[in-house]
Amino acid sequence: MDPSLLDSLRSGDRRALSRAISLVEDGDSAAELSHPQGVIGITGPPGAGKSTLIAALIGELRRRGETVAVLAVDPSSPITGGAILGDRIRMQTHIDDDGVYVRSMASRGHLGGLSVAAGAAIALLGAAGFDRVIVETVGVGQSEVEVMGVADVVALVVGPAWGDSVQADKAGIVEIADLFVVNKGDRPGVEDVKRALLEATGDDTPVLVTVATSGEGVPEVLDQIDLLGG
């Protein structure tokens, strides 16, 4: 990659950062950059509220004085190859904050929950100097295990209706999680899901409850991520 472009993004030029990420999406290399530490992976089934939880985590990180970049990977249409890239809508309250950067990326048909260029994009976000990098996976099911290769801590976010799926999904994304977050904690079924998760993992993995829309439980999630090394 052009060294002058890297120098620009290191100096805080967001246009240069966006251009660099577009280049790695098109096949350019960022091999000269090292992978940042403390990357947080957020995965889970559709409808669990992953993007809403990330927006709440951004708010909590900013209150703690940290800058944060989010790489949100969206599924691509098998027909057109395009993607909705709608995660920014849920995080739009931070759009005018210079300490926050949100980039959506299409999976382009790649399986595993991420994009082929995700690793290089994460390296670029680290080079840009953000204190935290959050990666959100596609959110399509139990095959999303690639995130464990790029994240230091992986949080699996589920909803209150997910209790019956715990055992079925145990061989998939349940096994890669460092912590579980049962979101929408103000709805019925939360305790059942929490109990099922604890039973499925033998109480070895922390299970926290949040209401991301109000921020309830979000500081505790961030504290747990810190304890785990994220």
Instruction: Give me the helix-helix angle, 118-127 and 14-25, nearest 10°.
Output: 160
Share of the chain above pLDDT 70, in %: 80
pLDDT, position 170: 52
Higher pLDDT, 115 or 53: 53
Look at residue 220 and tell me whether its pLDDT is greater than 90. Answer: yes
Sheet of strand 179-182, all strands in order from the earlier edge strand to the far edge: 100-106, 68-74, 132-136, 40-43, 153-158, 179-182, 207-209
Candidates 228, 64, 63, 39; CA nearest to 132 is 39
Of 16-20, 59-63, 73-77, 80-84, the poorest mean pLDDT is in: 80-84
Look at residue 117 and tell me whether its pLDDT is greater than 90. Answer: no
pLDDT bracket for residue 212 (50, 70, 90):
very high
- Across residues 17-45, what is the average pLDDT? 90
Higher pLDDT, 9 or 195: 9
Beta strands in the chain (DSSP E): 40-43, 68-74, 100-106, 132-136, 153-158, 179-182, 207-209
Euclidean distance between CA atoms 28 and 213, whole angstroms: 38
- Across residues 31-53, what is the average pLDDT? 89
Q: Are the beta carbons of 140 and 113 closer than 8 angstroms?
A: yes
Residue bearing tokens 């209401």: 211
- Across residues 172-189, what is the average pLDDT? 87
- Across residues 107-114, what is the average pLDDT? 48
Higher pLDDT, 76 or 202: 202
pLDDT, position 141: 52
- Residue extents of the structural domains in the chain: 3-228
Euclidean distance between CA atoms 64 and 61, whole angstroms: 5
CATH fold of 3-228: Rossmann fold (3.40.50)
Q: What is the pLDDT of residues 67-81, one digit of tens each?
A: 999 998 875 444 444
4 Cβ partners below 8 Å, 6+ apart?
Answer: none
